[in-house]
Copies of this chain bind each other. A is one copy, B any other.
């Protein structure tokens, strides 16, 4: 059975029918997450065996965790403006920009504007990747 999550809109937060918001605890570490939340739009709950599609919001002044791991990310910016660190380089990004973070690349997203910075982020299904020997 297919699944539809109807978009409910919103000013600061964007919401969807049947999708919960998960807020990351703020960290006081320099490379820790601050002002970050995620909504899993497609994933295990929808029965997706091979990938997941998540929607991330980063508040003004916030940043995602300074991260590095064996799986990769496909990202497209939907709202606001920010910076992305990819390895040793830093790029400014805004609506529509696409970012591919390959396996093992250091990466971090930072909100550099006064409004919500938000993006979609695709990953492989971790259980599937583990069973396939990737992780």
Interface of A with B (CB < 8 Å)? 1-7, 9, 14, 16, 19, 41-42, 46-53, 71-72, 74, 76-77, 84, 86-87, 89, 91, 93-103, 105, 107, 120, 122-124, 128-129, 131-132, 134
Top 5 A-B pairs, shortest CB-CB distance: A7-B96, A2-B86, A42-B74, A50-B124, A5-B98
Asked if residues A16 and B72 are in contact (CB atoms below 8 Å), the reply is no
Asked if residues B53 and A99 are in contact (CB atoms below 8 Å), the reply is no
Cα distance, A100 to B5, chains bound together (Å): 9
Give 6 A-B contacts (CB < 8 Å), ordered by A residue: A5-B98, A9-B96, A16-B96, A42-B98, A120-B120, A131-B132
Contacts of A5 in B (CB 8 A): 97-98
Counted per complex, copies of this chain come to 2
Asked if residues A41 and B98 are in contact (CB atoms below 8 Å), the reply is yes
List 15 additional A-B contacts (Cβ < 8 Å) besides A7-B94, A9-B96. Answer: A1-B87, A2-B101, A4-B84, A4-B91, A7-B95, A42-B74, A42-B100, A46-B102, A48-B102, A50-B50, A50-B124, A53-B74, A74-B122, A122-B122, A131-B132
Contacts of A99 in B (CB 8 A): 2-4
Given contacts A86-B2, A120-B120, contact A129 B74 (CB under 8 A): no
Asked if residues A50 and B48 are in contact (CB atoms below 8 Å), the reply is no
